[in-house]
Amino acid sequence: MGTAIQRLICDLRRKLFYHCVNDYEIFMKQENTILHGDCIDVLKEQLDAHDGEPFADLVFADPPFNIGYAYDKYDDNMEYDHYVDWTYRWMKACKDVLTENGSFWVAIGGDYAAEVRIAARKLGLTMRNWIIWYYTFGQNTKKKFSRSHTHIFYFVKNAKKFTFNDMAIRVPSARQTTYNDKRANSKGKVPDDTWIVRPQELPESFQPDEDTWHIPRVCGTFKERAGFHGCQMPEKVLARIIEAASNPGQLVLDPFSGSGTTVVTAQSLDRRFLGIDLSENYVKYGLQRLEESRDLHDTGS
């Protein structure tokens, strides 16, 4: 749909309804912001605004896990089949806006990981990795083993052509750090598909008394925590994904923006970005976080 027609429709809607400012925004091509709305609707509108041309080079989605978590607007308690059906529908909406050589990453809990894998297969996506992000600081349990990992799927649309910048994310190998092996590749190695970081791999990130660093969940006391969202992902997880699977200037999309981790990290890595969230509050605070992070970036602090 052409922009002039979109404007006309929106102006008409604006006259009909008492306020339509956000609608006006989503009927136009948007980037470098977070939009308020249901991601399936917003993605359809954005696709129209792009005249049907896919525009996202990398999608990272961290949906609600359907575990009864208390969000601001969303009710995280769907009936199983309903959740599976919804998962397929939002994944399809993401696939529709994904560029031909783009990649699609989904973070999901153990209860529905297999369903995400199946939905991706039905959508014709190719799985490149089924990553386990092992984190510490999970919730303790008494009658079963405590949960300490999240599944992160890495899918692509085109199995032969995609961006994977291995040099941007390599870590020193055990041959280099532990065995002092002359055959070691001096450029290090691509990380394993279980994401645990050891001091040998990132010495500058460790304190003298630490022996492991597992990219923990962002806990209440952490400096990184934005404070308004309980499911904030660590920027280090997003940085690895964005650096590996996109190039500066490309567009990174997060349909479940939450606290804004993806868009903040994309911004600091000089990517274009677009976030979407159902909660007006999360959008408002996410935009503030973006602005604060941009100020830090600009002053080089």
Ligand X SMILES: C[S@@+](CC[C@H](N)C(=O)[O-])C[C@H]1O[C@@H](n2cnc3c(N)ncnc32)[C@H](O)[C@@H]1O
Half-sphere exposure of 77 (CA within 13 A, CB side): 6
Q: Binding to ligand X by residue 64, rule CB under 6 A? A: yes
Nearer to ligand X, 125 or 264 (CB): 264
The piece of 57-65, 154-162, 183-191, 209-217 that touches ligand X (CB under 6 A) is: 57-65
Among 24, 71, 88, 164, contact with ligand X (rule: CB under 6 A):
71
Residues contacting residue 156 through CB under 8 Å, at least 6 positions apart: 101, 102, 103, 104, 125, 126, 128, 162
Q: Least CB distance from residue 240 to ligand X, whole Å? A: 14
Residue 180 CB, shortest distance to ligand X, in Å, is: 39
Residues belonging to the chain = 301
The answer to the question of residue 195 lying near ligand X (CB under 6 A) is: no
Contact stretch for ligand X (CB under 6 A) within 25-33, 179-187, 244-252, 276-284: 276-284
Q: Does 282 bind ligand X (CB under 6 A)?
A: yes
Would you count residue 73 as binding ligand X (CB under 6 A)? Answer: yes
Q: Which stretch binds ligand X (CB under 6 A): 7-15, 63-71, 136-144, 242-250?
A: 63-71
Is residue 258 within the footprint of ligand X (CB under 6 A)? yes
End-to-end CA distance of the chain: 43
Min dist CB 60 to ligand X, Å, is 8
Nearer to ligand X, 58 or 276 (CB): 276
For residues 64 and 172, which CB has a smaller minimum distance to ligand X in the complex? Answer: 64
- Angle 38-261-103 from CA coordinates, rounded to 5°: 70
Among 74, 88, 134, 213, binds ligand X (CB under 6 A): 74
- With respect to ligand X, which residue has the nearer C-beta, 214 or 225? 225
Site residues (CB under 6 A) for ligand X, limited to 157-186: none
Binding flag, residue 112, ligand X (CB under 6 A)? no
- Cβ neighbours of residue 135 under 8 Å, at least 6 residues apart? 148, 149, 150, 214, 215, 216, 217
Separation CA 208–CA 198 (nearest Å): 13
The residue among 38 and 243 lying less far from ligand X, judged by its C-beta, is 38
13 binds ligand X (CB under 6 A): no
Instruction: Give the integer Cα–Cα distance in Å for 255 and 147.
Output: 25
List binders of ligand X among 213-232 (CB under 6 A).
229, 231-232
Minimal distance in Å, beta carbon 234 to ligand X? 8
| Interaction site with ligand X (CB under 6 A) | 38-39, 62-64, 71, 73-74, 229, 231-233, 255-256, 258-259, 261, 276-279, 282
